[in-house]
Structure 1
């Protein structure tokens, strides 16, 4: 199981990757309900950060899937 420090590093790397390679997706991360805490002062522990990391991965995966479909539609 990963420690909190490693999870934070992965979040930072993934976010940086999204910002660099997919700026249009990066701009929407702030508006994504998955990434917005529901409380004003959320408790950030290892489990929550793992869930956040997984949500980022899912958002990227779905974006890439949709982008692939969009590009294939444009080619036809």
Structure 2
């Protein structure tokens, strides 16, 4: 399994790619990169990051 740092790097790279190459998709992401989590102690682990990365990949795949 990938490390947390690897997952975050891939998520950042893919998010930048979406923002640059697919701005019409980027505006519909369910997140704002500058938004802080609503809960005081959100559960963010490697599994959650991996799931999010896969959802971004699927978003691009289905859009193309």
Same-fold status (TM-score > 0.5): yes
- Structure 2 portions without partners, runs of 5+: 32-37
Which consecutive segments of 4 or more residues in structure 1 shift more than 3 A?
Answer: none
TM-score, structure 1 as length reference: 0.69
Corresponding residue pairs, total: 57
Q: CA RMSD in A?
A: 1.6
* Structure possessing the higher relative contact order (Cα contacts under 8 Å, 6 or more residues apart): 2
TM-score, structure 2 as length reference: 0.81
- Structure 1 portions without partners, runs of 5+: 32-39, 65-76
Larger-Rg structure: 1
Q: Report which of the two has the higher share of helix.
A: 1
